[in-house]
Structure 1
Amino acid sequence: MVKKKYLWRHPAGRIYVRLKGRLYRIHAQEGTEDFDREYWEILTGKRMQAKTSWNALIEDYRTSDRWLGLKPRTRQDYDKVMLYLREKIGPRDVKSLTRSDVIAAQKANSHRTRFANYIPQMLVILCEHAIDLGWIANNPAKGVRALKTPQHRKKEHLPWPDWAVDKFRAEASDLPRLIFEIGVGSVQRPGDWVGFRWGDYDGDSLTLRQNKTDKPLVLPCTAELKSALDTAKAALGVIPIAGKPILSKLDGNPMGYRYMSQVMLRERRRLGLEAYDLHALRYRGVQELAWQGCTDDEIAAYSGHATKAMIEKYAGEARQVMRARQAREKRK
């Protein structure tokens, strides 16, 4: 065996190649063919991509029924993690992954807890696919504990109070007001608002297939939402084609989530309502349904919530206030 004179071992046990004043880590286990290959690739500047690389695995996974059967929203979340994995370990051999590697990647992203917890989740799925392909025998990503969001970083969505709703409706500009009414009236996730087309509105109801759940819904409009939609439609001057987005930029192009979020943030700042965000509009809608005596099942039929945890939280708060006021009246 040729002696590898450029190796340097970290006190923690990690092995690096010291080359031209820089350190390049070798991820494979010492004494293996993969270790030798990584060493010479670093030394020659030719990091060859293994046939069983993460890049190759991700490409194959994206053609599988595991991927094709996912809901659009789930694909979006997974795509972000797979892009990260491509950038960090794309050319590396899948077989060299260890549990400690998974935990280290998760820890490196602990400043963004949700994304950090998606990393082991995505690696579990990819490793299961690698097992199916015969590349590995075990799944080193399984069983990695999810990180908890630190208390100081937790941010609750404050449901819009009556005075804030009244102020926004009275003083907001036309486009932010339309976005606002879609949020409260449809009781959907903000990511779905930009997907509404004029063909989804029949003058009384909106139709939708949710991005996250792929669930089809018919949403009867509130009086405020119907008025806002009718006003926006009339302002176009012509009957819009069915495929035209209801929420469009000034140049007529479709509005994305980020653009919509910026429009609303500017308006909320202008009106002194920055504390109440987009997601909280959905919770306001849930509370309004609860105030009208709707059951959790009826609210879920409108909002499309897959589980009732959020409904129970925000509808429960609304019912508590309502009952407390009723109790006050009885005390008089």
Structure 2
Amino acid sequence: MLVVLCEHAIDLGWIQNNPAKGVRALKTPVERQREHLPWPDWAVEKFRTEASELCRLIFEIGVGSVQRPSDWLRFTWGDYDGDMLRLRQGKTDKPLILPCTSALKAALEQAKLALGATPIAARPILTQPNGNPMTYFYMAKVMRKERLRLGLEAYDLHALRYRSIKELAWAGCDDDEIAAYSGHATKAMIAKYAGEARQEMRARQAREKRQ
């Protein structure tokens, strides 16, 4: 990050040399190298049953939209028409129209009702209790606190996207249908998590035949 900032400072004429260039990158800690664990059924059920209203809304937006956590914060009430959510992805700038799941629609309608009036189109769907737009840091903090309270700390925000992909695979969606929801430019990650879901589903089917 400092290399990039210093290069920009050179372009602006603030400095002549980049003091950060050539500095060795730090190794990623082992605990951060672990893959995200997709939420299992029991964890999903526990969170939906016992989590706070705000955390459930965050959760349903994550699972229902199949997007990255940073994009959950981009949704405004103007993006929701009662059935679909519209989004231009932050990472890819790709425009998407996302049909809401029944659970996501219920959570959005409940959040809208709690506002007491029709929200203005530009108002973010996810806000802090004081009404300010929710930041990524705030969202991560409240969700981590709730996961710790419920004993679900092993399953993080990014893993909700993987859970969504697995649910689509369980429903029989092919890679193109999943990509239409997730916005993935390549299918490598889809193949990984959808492949796990399909293997599990086929194994369960094989067990039924076996028994």
**Shorter chain as normaliser: what TM range?**
over 0.9
Q: Which runs of 4+ in 1 moved over 6 A?
A: none
Aligned length: 208
In the TM superposition, 1:1-332 aligns within 5 A as 81-83=3-5, 91-93=15-17, 102=21, 104-105=22-23, 107=24, 109-112=25-28, 153-332=32-211
Secondary structure class of the residue paired with 1:269: helix
Q: Which has the higher contact order (CA 8 A, sep 6+)?
A: 2
Percent identity reads: 68
Matched AA of 1:92: Q
What amino acid sits opposite 2:196 in the alignment?
E
2: CA distance, partners of 1:266 / 1:159: 19
In structure 2, what residue type is equivalent to 1:111?
K
The TM-score with structure 2 as length reference comes to 0.92
* More divergent stretch after superposition (238-247 vs 151-160): 151-160
**1:298/1:277 CA distance change after superposition, 3 Å:** same
Which SS does the other structure have where 1:158 is aligned? coil
Supply the AA of the counterpart residue of 1:110. L
Larger Rg: 1
CA RMSD in angstroms comes to 2.1
| Rounded Cα–Cα distance in structure 2 between residues aligned with 1:170 and 1:304 | 29
What's the CA shift for 1:111?
3.1
CA shift digits 1:171-209 (9 cap, x unpaired): 000000000000000000000000100000000010000
How far off its partner does 1:156 sit? 0.5
TM-score norm. by structure 1 comes to 0.59
Change (3 A) 1:245 1:320: same
Give the 3-state SS of the residue equivalent to 1:330 in structure 2: helix
Segments of structure 2 that go 5 or more residues without pairing to the other structure are none
Structure 1 residues 325 and 265 mapped into 2: Cα distance closer, same or farther (>3 Å)? Answer: same
CA 1:240–1:309 in 2, change beyond 3 Å: closer, same or farther?
A: same
Distance 2:210 2:34 in 1: 36
Query: Please, which runs of 5 or more residues in structure 1 have no aligned partner?
Result: 1-77, 113-149
What is the CA–CA distance in structure 2 between the aligned matches of 1:322 and 1:278, rounded to whole Å? 24
Q: 2 CA distance for matches of 1:151 and 1:310? A: 21
Please give the alpha-carbon distance, in whole angstroms, between the structure 1 residues aligned to 2:126 and 2:203. Answer: 39
